[in-house]
Amino acid sequence: MITWILIFIIAFTRFTTSQNGLGYKTPPMGWNPYNAFHYNINETLIKQHADIIAKQGYLDVGFRYINLDDGWQASARTADNKLSPDSSKFPSGIKDLADYMHKNGLLLGIYSDAGTQTCGGFPGSLDHEDTDAQTFVDWDVDYLKYANCNEQGKPEQEHNGNALNSATAGKNKTIFYNICEWGTSDSWLWGPDVGGNSWRTTADIIAFWPSIISIINSEVRLTEYGNSRRGWNDPDVLVLGFDRIPYEEQVTHYAFWAAMKAPLILGSDLTKVTDEAKKLILNKDIISVNQDPLGLSVCQVYYRTDNKSSFDIWTGPLNDGYVAILFNRGIEPISITLDFKEHCHLNGSIEVYDLVKQQPYGDYTNNYTAVNIPEHGVEFIKLIGGNRIDDDRPCLNYS
Ligand SMILES: *[C@@H]1O[C@H](CO)[C@@H](O)[C@H](O)[C@H]1NC(C)=O
Ligand SMILES: *[C@@H]1O[C@H](CO)[C@@H](O)[C@H](O)[C@H]1NC(C)=O
Ligand SMILES: *[C@@H]1O[C@H](CO)[C@@H](O)[C@H](O)[C@H]1NC(C)=O
Ligand SMILES: *[C@@H]1O[C@H](CO)[C@@H](O)[C@H](O)[C@H]1NC(C)=O
Ligand SMILES: *[C@@H]1O[C@H](CO)[C@@H](O)[C@H](O)[C@H]1NC(C)=O
């Protein structure tokens, strides 16, 4: 009896600390200016991008959060210790910006640092978390990226989850809480317990292949931690649309982020995205894998490393099928065979659908071979039909 009461108390405590996180059943989608503009942001730029998101097809497929990143703040707090925007960059204030987003069917995200004093020339929040949470509620913002400011290993984010919960309690308001300690203190383990809805798993992404592949490699052992019951692993923004990244590498990047259930936050200057990249970004089949109601990440089920053909296979269940990434890590085109039984625990007759080209390939039994997968490229496919052989998943074990 005592044990059951204790279990109930523990369960209830956890429930209340993660209260702010309830209601986010799929990863957030949106835009963040940092990778394209760094600290050089302002009201005009943000509204211009909000207009592009709202009116040029992005909102229609689910992109909705317009997130401010570092650089929006004034360099000091107000006399009553509140955060305030740099008034030369955001003369109308943040509440006005949030209203603008909401009028256009969008949501506004904001950024804050957990540093004790100043971080990058801006005020830290650790001593003011309750005040700041109230400010964010007063401004009606919808998303908070809370960075650790290099105070590695300290549990600032824990206090902040409570601060957000208190500030939103009893109000018709939730604030999506993104913990950003760059994976330095294993936030995927404790993120859900402190009210986090997503947690950065890696250092900042850079718009080139070595950064993308190094992030994919570091996610290999984390895929079980990001899902709709806990919250999402955040491998940082999408660097789609940066023209220095070859198209096939952009496809690989997008396929992995979508299938790992990463937040899909675009990081490019949307005025400069090519038609080809925009078509990729707006691909509804890729997005529907990310927004799948089952909310489970793919995992790595096979890899092979040698000089001629290095490749990976990642698979995972969807609400209405299965998804697979056949990934050519190497530098010449190769074929990869997906064995339904071994790599997906499926049998029977299975329809294979190419999520990138958006075309069906017909029905297969036992296996499917993708031919001529380009260097650093993927074939990203959905499997429809067939039977689950068992409820286990064939994930490689990294624990
Ligand atoms: C706003 O920011 C953009 C991007 O950094 C810059 O090009 C533009 O000149 C800025 N506009 C104003 C009014 O400061
Ligand atoms: C709660 O907020 C949402 C989103 O802003 C709004 O659509 C809804 O009408 C509000 N509900 C109440 C009861 O005020
Ligand atoms: C791969 O290439 C390196 C350098 O050329 C060589 O030393 C190594 O033996 C090769 N490995 C395999 C598995 O062929
Ligand atoms: C699929 O696997 C299940 C479970 O092992 C088995 O009962 C069934 O007969 C198999 N179906 C086919 C078409 O192989
Ligand atoms: C793929 O399945 C077919 C039968 O559907 C079989 O003949 C073939 O040997 C299999 N290939 C591989 C590589 O497993």
CATH fit for domain 29-291, picks 3.10.20.740, 2.40.30.10, 3.20.20.70, 1.10.760.10: 3.20.20.70
> Domain coordinates of the chain in residue numbers?
29-291, 299-396
CATH number for the domain formed by residue range(s) 299-396: 2.60.40.1180
pLDDT of residue 269: 98
Taking the centre of ligand 1 as the mean of its atom positions, its distance from the CA of residue 96, in whole angstroms, is 18
Among 335, 365, 367, 371, which residue has the most ligand 5 atoms within 8 Å of its CB, making it the best to mutate? Answer: 367
Q: Which of 75, 136, 77, 82 is nearest to 110 (CA)?
A: 136
Q: How far is CA 290 from CA 29, 30, 49, 82, 302, in A?
A: 10, 13, 23, 37, 22
Lowest mean pLDDT segment, chosen from 182-191, 199-208, 352-361: 182-191
Output the residue whose Cα is nearest ligand 3's atom 6.
Answer: 307
Distance CA 128, CA 327 (A): 46
Residue 145 sits at the vertex; the CA angle it makes with 139 and 148, to the nearest 5 degrees, is 125
Mean pLDDT value across residues 162-171: 93
281 class by beta-carbon count within 10 Å (0-12 exposed, 13-18 middle, 19+ buried): buried
Q: 342 CA distance to ligand 4 centroid (A)?
A: 13
| Residue 8 pLDDT | 36
Other Cβ atoms less than 10 A from the Cβ of 304: the count is 12
pLDDT in tens, 194-222: 899 999 999 999 999 999 999 999 999 99
CA distance 97 to 110: 11
Task: Evaluate whether 325 touches 255 at the Cβ level (below 8 Å).
Answer: yes
Atom of ligand 3 nearest to the CA of 307: 1
Q: Given the structure tokens 């405590």, which residue do they identify?
A: 13
Q: How far apart are CA 39 and CA 36, in angstroms?
A: 10
| pLDDT number for residue 151 | 61
Q: Which of 45, 69, 86, 92 has most ligand 1 atoms within 8 Å of CB, for mutation? A: 45
Average pLDDT, stretch 58-80?
Answer: 97
Tell me which amino acid residue 43 is. Answer: E
Q: Is the pLDDT of residue 6 over 90?
A: no
Residues with CB under 6 A from ligand 3: 306-307
The reply to whether ligand 5 has any atom less than 6 angstroms from the CB of 366 is: yes
Span 356-369, mean pLDDT? 98
Q: Which residue has the tokens 């640092």?
A: 113
- Ligand 5 centroid to residue 216 C-alpha, Å: 30
Phi, psi of 99 (to 5 degrees): -60, -40
The 3-state DSSP class for residue 54 equals: helix
pLDDT, greater one: 165 or 160: 165
Distances (CA, A) of 382 to 167, 191, 349, 364: 42, 30, 13, 12
pTM of the model: 0.92
Checking if the pLDDT of 10 tops 70, the result is no
347 lines ligand 4 (CB under 6 A): yes
Mean per-residue pLDDT for 250-274?
98
